[in-house]
Structure 1
Amino acid sequence: MEKTLPKQGETYFLNLRFLLILTVCIANAIEPLIARMGGLHALYSWIYTFHIPLFVLVTGYFSKGGLDGPDGRKTLLQIGMQYIIFQSLYSFLDITLFRVPNIRHSFFAPYLLLWFLVSHMGWRLMMLGMRRLPPAGRFAVAAALGIMVGYLPLDGAWLSISRTFVYLPFYVIGYHFSFDAFMRFFTLKKRFVAAAASALLLIVIALTGLAPPPGWLYGSMTYMQMGHPEWYAGVYRLAVYGLQIGSAAAFLGWVPFRQGRLTDLGRRTLYVFLLHGLIIRLAAASGLYGFILHPAAAVPVVAGAALLAFALAQPAVKKAAHPVVEPPVTWILRLERMAFGKP
């Protein structure tokens, strides 16, 4: 198993990771406006064709060599602590300050973006369970599970079960991703073509409105919940996989290979991910979106979301929020050793 990542591969995926968190901030910031502004709806739909699959792929890539052993256990514990802390924090603020309707407050129902933490634990555990399978076998099993989970007669949001299985194939791809092979294939000409294809997809969605319903792009609902009880509903999921893979591959054309400012920012995307929702929720609760009545007024919203991503990725934010965003778990491991009489 590969224990270290190629330096250039690490740089590329850190650059990608920040660009993705940038799109996450923008998508979440414009979501309250997409029902009444077609251009923002197109931008939102375009972002959702690639950003979750690529984020999962990047997460799988950075999991190389760190799934099992002490490092793997420590990572699982830390993700679990992050979930407990932020699920409690978001739920508390929602009840006392944000007062967002129709949200279930339960540790079994991840609060909005916190589904990713629950699913991340699931992806790591399932990869360990498939360790005896070759890479192709892991991908085949993951894709089959991603399609079959839609047929389950349950709420797909429960413990993020739907998204965990739907996006498992992208985690497997990321884990086995060969950056050397990618470098040989993704020549400069192909990068330009990919970037152009990504821009073209946005234009097509904006002009035609052709994009899967949000439920298919979120991956959080079963087929029944999306109004598709047909026995062949899994074929739709397969088609969405095709769109997501194509859109994700095209977006890679925008990502620089060189180390730079984006690389440094990409090391602190966890802080952007866990903290930006608090600010966007606060903006929504303040009634700010009620004053945005014209598409031109939405431009500052997009710009503000981008600035928010840059601001939350600064070293000062990490220094201030580190105990909450990356809670120490050594004390849990110490208690565990004491309980089992280990030195």
Structure 2
Amino acid sequence: MFHAASSLVPSPRSPQSEKDQHHQSPDRRSKQRDAFFDNAKYLAIVLVAVAHAWEPLKGGSRVLQAAYMLVYAFHMPAFIVISGFFSRSFDASPGKLKRLVTGVAVPYIVFETAYPLFVGYASGTHQDITLLDPYYLTWFLCALFIWRLTTPLWKLVRHPLPLAMGIAMLASVSPGIDDDLDIQRVLQFLPFFVLGLYLKPEHFRLVRRRAVRITAVPVFAFALAFSWWAVPRMDTAWLYHRGSAQELGVPWWVGPLMQLALFGCSLLLTACFLSWVPGRTMWCTALGAGTLYGYLLHGFLIKGADYRGWFDQPWLHRPLGEIAVSVVMAVAVTLLCTAPVRRALRFVVEPKMEWAFRTDPVRVAREREREREREQEREKASV
């Protein structure tokens, strides 16, 4: 999920050996990022932030509620599928485990502590700090940590996707599952991650064909119309994947059916969304490397504005106000993904933490040997 951990998914690079990556300059390494995935991550994080800004406004607008339902149907599934795709190389080796700790576990601990403190200050109420109950946005880091740790298992078993789907369906009828670590979400979103593990680059090229881009237009139009119809008929909580059927007040058998239906709808909309993502380098491509920053930080803006009553302004609940909020949040999360923000907060979002890990003597010996070889090559070149 990271070059170290600078984004919500692993750095999208062209395949090459670790040795080649080690010797390349930063400029050359950055050029090897896949612009398509960086663009996809940036656009997805904008949708995430804008949808969060709609939450306090959507109550009085059926159109906004429909747009909210549509976006929630695919923005996190898209992130999770891409996260799974770039987790394929995870093998629980020391280096990968180290990056998992510094790039996922440490930011989770930091922001799981920071959010309650911030909300307590903004609201004037006491907020308990607990690492077992993910707050607001941090559930995704918790889930990703668990999913990635289980990656070797999913690469080992037969029929991994049906197995993951079965687990998600069972979770949807299990109200007794504890809320610790938001395990309902971890299990119900699991199929998207497992699917990503088994996708190949050609699958993403397949959805980017012109025919798919054209087909995506009526698909999204129909999905928006269906969402408008479903607003008074469907509980939006189904899209959060954090509760069982019984907790949502319906018969138990509805849970597995909704899991299957939502999985299919989310995949279809994700494919349509990805078909529109540009594959070329654009002004926003570099921002794809900073989506973790935008994801974790925009929550402070949303919560701060909410507790200060800014969303209570009547004009914000009209169409022009809703558009203004959307534009402001899109600009804000864009700024949060920029290089200055990443440099300023890298020490907490993607710390190196060399002091916390044992030195691998084999790796050190190899690095010394490579350095010795490079020195000999320089001496030969100077003769």
2: CA distance between counterparts of 1:171 and 1:315? Answer: 28
Give the equivalent residue in structure 2 for 1:206. 228
Give the equivalent residue in structure 1 for 2:325. 301
1:88 CA displacement = 0.5
Question: Aligned-residue CA RMSD in angstroms?
Answer: 2.7
Match 2:115 to one of 90, 96, 107: 90
Pair 1:28 & 2:73 matched: no
Give the equivalent residue in structure 1 for 2:191. 169
1:211 CA displacement = 7.2
Match 1:55 to one of 79, 84, 94: 79
Alpha-carbon distance change, 100 to 15 in structure 1, aligned in 2, over 3 angstroms? farther
1: CA distance between counterparts of 2:62 and 2:85? Answer: 35
The residue correspondences of 1:149-228 to structure 2 (distance < 5 A) are 149-154=171-176, 157-184=179-206, 186-206=208-228, 209=231, 212-228=234-250
Map Cα deviations across residues 88-132 of structure 1 (whole Å, 9 max, x no partner): 00011112223589x764221100111001100111122222332
1:212 CA displacement = 4.1
1:8 CA displacement = 8.8
Alpha-carbon distance change, 94 to 208 in structure 1, aligned in 2, over 3 angstroms? closer
Alpha-carbon distance change, 252 to 54 in structure 1, aligned in 2, over 3 angstroms? same
Q: Check whether the contact 2:106–2:349 (CA below 8 A) recurs between aligned residues.
A: no
2: CA distance between counterparts of 1:293 and 1:20? Answer: 24
Pair 1:145 & 2:170 matched: no
1:52 CA displacement = 1.1
Q: Under a length normalisation based on structure 1, what TM-score does the superposition of the two structures give?
A: 0.89
The residue correspondences of 1:237-276 to structure 2 (distance < 5 A) are 237-276=259-298
Alpha-carbon distance change, 208 to 184 in structure 1, aligned in 2, over 3 angstroms? closer
2: CA distance between counterparts of 1:329 and 1:211? Answer: 50
2: CA distance between counterparts of 1:25 and 1:246? Answer: 22
Map Cα deviations across residues 202-240 of structure 1 (whole Å, 9 max, x no partner): 244236637742211100112221113424531222122
Alpha-carbon distance change, 277 to 234 in structure 1, aligned in 2, over 3 angstroms? same
1: CA distance between counterparts of 2:142 and 2:156? Answer: 24
2: CA distance between counterparts of 1:73 and 1:38? Answer: 46
Q: Check whether the contact 1:29–1:302 (CA below 8 A) recurs between aligned residues.
A: yes
Segments of 5+ residues of structure 2 without an aligned counterpart are 1-11, 16-30, 366-383
Q: Under a length normalisation based on structure 2, what TM-score does the superposition of the two structures give?
A: 0.80
2: CA distance between counterparts of 1:324 and 1:302? Answer: 28
Which of structure 1's runs of 4+ aligned residues deviate more than 4 A? 3-9
Q: Check whether the contact 1:155–1:221 (CA below 8 A) recurs between aligned residues.
A: no
2: CA distance between counterparts of 1:37 and 1:177? Answer: 38
Give the equivalent residue in structure 2 for 1:321. 345
Give the equivalent residue in structure 1 for 2:64. 40
Counterpart of 2:341, as a letter, is V
1: CA distance between counterparts of 2:84 and 2:213? Answer: 22
Alpha-carbon distance change, 195 to 63 in structure 1, aligned in 2, over 3 angstroms? farther
Give the equivalent residue in structure 1 for 2:105. 80
Identity %: 29
Match 2:334 to one of 310, 323, 333: 310
Q: Check whether the contact 2:173–2:246 (CA below 8 A) recurs between aligned residues.
A: yes
1: CA distance between counterparts of 2:243 and 2:69? Answer: 17
Counterpart of 1:140, as a letter, is P
Of residues 304-313 and 122-131 in structure 1, the stretch that sits farther from structure 2 once superposed is 122-131
Q: Check whether the contact 2:175–2:247 (CA below 8 A) recurs between aligned residues.
A: no
- Report the 3-state secondary structure (helix = DSSP H, G, I; strand = E; otherwise coil) of the residue aligned with 2:150: helix
2: CA distance between counterparts of 1:194 and 1:310? Answer: 25
Map Cα deviations across residues 119-169 of structure 1 (whole Å, 9 max, x no partner): 0011112222233224xx111111111111122233564211111111111
